[in-house]
Amino acid sequence: MSTPEAPPVDPSRPQVGDRLELDAGPIAHGGHVVARTGETGLVVFVRHALPGERVVAVVTEDDGRFLRADAVDVLEASPDRVERPCPYAGPGACGGCDLQHAALPAQRRLKADVVREQLSRLAGLEVDVVVEPVPDAGTDGLRWRSRMQYVALPELQRGLRAHRSHDVVAVEDCPIEAPGAVTTTDGVPPAPVVTERVTTAAGTRDFEVAGDGFWQPHVHAPRVLVETVLELGAPRPGERVLDLYAGVGLFTAYLAEAVGPTGAVTAVEGDRTATRLAAANLADLPGVSVVTDRVDRALHRGIGAADLVVLDPPRVGAKRQVVRHLAALTPRAIVYVACDPAALARDVAYLAEQGYRMETLRAFDLFPMTHHVECVALFVPA
């Protein structure tokens, strides 16, 4: 059998490695700006640029529908551009931080633009979004990350991967790693269990977390998110609460204290190690039950009534089936913690289909120097 011939190369189409002069347009979800080539108007997603700049960008990938590129020279700079605080950030270097070239207030404005655009495009909502700085987190956006995953290198070195690549950049010190961060290295078993102390306006508790298990990365995130969930959800004594994608029980603990001994909180989490630790973390709280199951499956099987639902799904969001099951429980309120604005916006649309409207949206800069942003939304019956 003969091998099919490769499609002919379009001589007018930029190739990987080509240098293009581009005018940087608006920020897009993912940490890049949108530009277009002058000849054909082909879309180019450009990293390391800011809206309004004119840059020289090197094409790094051709997706077929669009190009990806890195800005390697700035011809006309934005007033928001600053020197990167990390020597490992930039084109072809560590892929962990994609906004170090923007001042922190500008980073937050750009993230707000992304959240606003996703809600408009995917949910049909026009919402005024402000990304809030984290209280008591300092003003430089550094030393905030409580969990780090490194790649082992020869001679006891360690590194981090380049953007969309298996290439490893050797790193002596990552400026966003917090003092005392839990660090793991490929091929090296992590610490089995780590104790995390969380101090909030509602009290202080200790939580055991697997060394390689999920925990909010920003050192102040547990406090900020617990306080925001309690503020928006306003749990009342005697209420029945569902905490979905509950992890080791961070929200469950504070929700249980709020509803008191006459209330009940059910935590649902699919990871067996997390639920084992959650059971230990929550053992002193009456009315708490921990369910080890996938959230969609647990809801399908039936999990009882709920006055309030709190959910913190993974980056892909809750999705339509889970939303449908939640609405069928007719809670008075749903508090949704989201780490991805696109997934949140899709679920906002699904909730609207089921008769729930977004009443309040808070957004926090829990991932400085990166394009990521954390949102907490309150939904009530329409």
Q: What phi, psi does 301 have (nearest 5°)?
A: -70, -25
pLDDT band at 155; cut points 50, 70, 90: confident
pLDDT for position 39? 76
Q: Is 339 labeled as catalytic in the residue annotation?
A: yes
The two tokens of residue 248 are: 């080791």
Q: How many CA atoms lie within 13 A of 109 on its CB side?
A: 9
Give tens-digit pLDDT for 104-115: 999 999 999 999
> Residue 233 and residue 359: Cα distance in Å, rounded?
11
Does residue 374 surpass a pLDDT of 60?
Answer: yes
In 3D, which of 169, 190, 171 has the Cα closest to residue 181? 190
Q: What is the DSSP string of 236-299?
A: -TT-EEEEES-TTTHHHHHHHHHH-TTSEEEEEES-HHHHHHHHHHTTT-TTEEEEES-HHHHH
The stretch 224-250 carries a mean pLDDT of: 98
Contact 235, 242 (CB under 8 A): no
Contact 261, 274 (CB under 8 A): no
Q: Return the axis-axis angle of helices 319-328 and 341-353, rounded to nearest 10°.
A: 40
Please tell me which residue in 97, 174, 339, 375 is annotated as part of the active site.
339
pLDDT for position 4? 57
Does residue 2 surpass a pLDDT of 80?
Answer: no
Q: What phi, psi does 145 have (nearest 5°)?
A: -85, 120
The percentage of the chain sitting over the pLDDT mark of 90, rounded to a whole number, equals 90
> Residue 29 and residue 27: Cα distance in Å, rounded?
7
- Burial group, residue 280, by CB count within 10 angstroms (0-12, 13-18, 19+): middle
Does residue 29 surpass a pLDDT of 70?
Answer: yes
pLDDT for position 367? 97
In 3D, which of 62, 131, 185 has the Cα closest to residue 362? 131
Dihedral of alpha carbons 343, 345, 350, 355, sign:
positive
pLDDT for position 337? 98
pTM: 0.94
Mean pLDDT of the chain: 95
Give tens-digit pLDDT for 278-320: 999 999 999 999 999 999 999 999 998 999 999 999 999 999 9
The stretch 80-92 carries a mean pLDDT of: 96
- For 200, the enclosing helix (H) or strand (E) is strand 193-200
Contact 142, 108 (CB under 8 A): no
For the chain, domains (ranges, CATH) are 19-81 (2.40.50.140), 115-141+189-381 (3.40.50.150)
